Amino acid sequence: EPIGRRDHFFALGGHSLLVMRVVVRVRQMLRRELKMSDLFAHPVLADLAQVLAEAAPVTLPPIVPALRQGPLPLSFAQQRLWFLAQLEGVSEAYHLSFGLTLEGELDLDALRRALDTVIARHEALRTTFVEVEGVPVQCIAAEGRFALEEQDLRGQPEAGRLARRLARQEARRPFDLRKGPLIRGLLLRLDEQRYGLRVTMHHIVTDGWSLGVLVEELGALYRAFQQGRPDPLPALPIQYADYAVWQRHWLAEEGLQQQEAYWTAALAGAPVLLSLPTDRPRPVQQSYAGGFVPWSCPAALTEGLKGLAQRHGLTLHMLLLGAWAVLLSRLSGQTDIVIGTPVANRRRLETEPLIGFFVNTLAIRVDVGEEPSVGELLARVKRQSLAAQQHQDLPFEQVVERVQPVRSLSHSPLFQVMLQWQSGGGRGGDALALPGLSIQRGARAEEAARTAKFDQTLSLAEVGERLVGGL
């Protein structure tokens, strides 16, 4: 929408992902490097324009198609999941899935064709992982079809309960990274005009943003094929393997000494473990078994939180991060709190339409000591959040290597508690719209499979006028 020169960014609904998308588009279209801290320091658009006029030119190399003549490397994030997948019982903690109930006239041929087309578009979904001379590499199949299992439950006693049990089993069924496929679906016919669909992927080929891409493309393709039209989606300029090669080359050639120095200093002397009061002792090795407790925030309180964030010149995510840190401090008796938070890591425009494992994790350290006021605490959180986001190019796996924390199979390194914020500024989301069908979203993988990667994950999203999510 048209915006005025004196409009204030945070009054326009500024949040962390929107900030990043502004930075990405400035880099792509204006060829200027805009720091996130500059946007927060100059939230009035006319002032920001002046900053841009004096900003440094872009030096980041473009992502180009890589040669496919030899083994293709894994990205750093993929490499970490590959090694984790070698541990027994870890796989299902890294499953991403969504469930849908479809009611109405379902065009099965259009659905199957749409799912097959998504597989054809995205190499990541045709990728498996094998070792060559002890090093994991990507193997991309030239073609493939979506692995959709179909079951007819019409006439079955207690079909609804059976469907829920089958969906839970599907969400937990292990993947074989060497053989694939690493995406699959289960379509259950419940009655004449009612279906249950669950799509499950391994995290090594996808992330939360990718689920939005999948949903968005599935809707566009289904509508086109149902109406007898051809594939309407534009060709993808690059694939995930091109990004992995670019990432390896960039980190090796350009070096990220400044980012490495930041993380080494920021996490120096951080506590090894956040000691939350628990009912049982910590096991020697994580089981990744967990539970999910839903939660929602009243609309009036949500509006009050947004107003508080705006008055302090920060995002709602930063405000919630500060509140979460205070609560964790009171529960643990510790004042030095490290919280993990994911970032989309789509810092290049050409990566936005891709399905793949781009997400990075930032370990944000919050000092709750010396009894700060609310304003002082939020200033600390804002400062730490902006610095972490400014240095987000270094993959979390490389941060762990540089910081060298105490390693243990009983807990994750650097942090054990996560704040997962779904800002609604990504791609597609869960809002799938198919003609002739009413659609209701079912449980996500973490709800269906009852797994947990960390001791605690607080997952929140702004839906309508309320914050909703769970633990």
Q: Taking the domains of the chain in order of start, what are their residue ranges?
A: 9-53, 72-226, 255-434+448-470
Q: What pLDDT is stored for residue 429 in this prediction?
A: 47
Class of domain 255-434+448-470: alpha beta
Contact 360, 342 (CB under 8 A): yes
Structure-token pair, residue 427: 């791609």
361-372 burial string, b = 16+ CB within 10 Å, else e? bbbbbbbbeeee
Torsion angle of C-alpha atoms 58, 61, 62, 66, degrees rounded to 10? 180
Residues 6+ apart with CB under 8 A from 318: 16, 309, 378, 381, 382, 385
Task: Write out the chain's pLDDT in tens, 471 residues.
Answer: 455 665 555 554 445 667 777 888 887 788 888 887 787 788 787 888 888 888 888 777 789 999 988 889 999 999 989 988 887 667 778 999 889 999 999 999 999 999 999 999 999 999 999 999 999 999 999 999 999 999 999 988 888 899 989 998 998 899 999 999 999 999 999 999 999 999 999 999 999 899 999 999 999 999 999 999 999 999 999 999 999 999 988 877 655 788 899 999 999 999 999 999 999 999 999 888 888 899 999 999 999 999 999 899 888 999 999 999 999 999 999 999 999 999 988 888 889 999 999 999 999 999 999 999 999 999 999 999 999 988 988 899 899 999 999 989 899 999 999 999 876 544 544 568 888 899 888 756 555 557 888 999 999 988 889 999 999
pTM of the model: 0.87
Contact 80, 429 (CB under 8 A): no
Instruction: Determine the distance from the C-alpha atom of residue 393 to the mean position of all C-alpha atoms in its chain, rounded to a whole number.
Output: 15
Would you mind telling me the total number of residues written for the chain in this entry? 471
Contact 195, 159 (CB under 8 A): no
> Is domain 72-226 classified as CATH 3.30.559.10?
yes
Residues 6+ apart with CB under 8 A from 212: 426, 427, 428, 429, 430
Q: Residue 391: which of 267, 274, 273 has the closest Cα?
A: 267
Q: What pLDDT is stored for residue 458 in this prediction?
A: 95
Task: Give CA–CA dist 163/413, Å, rounded.
Answer: 38
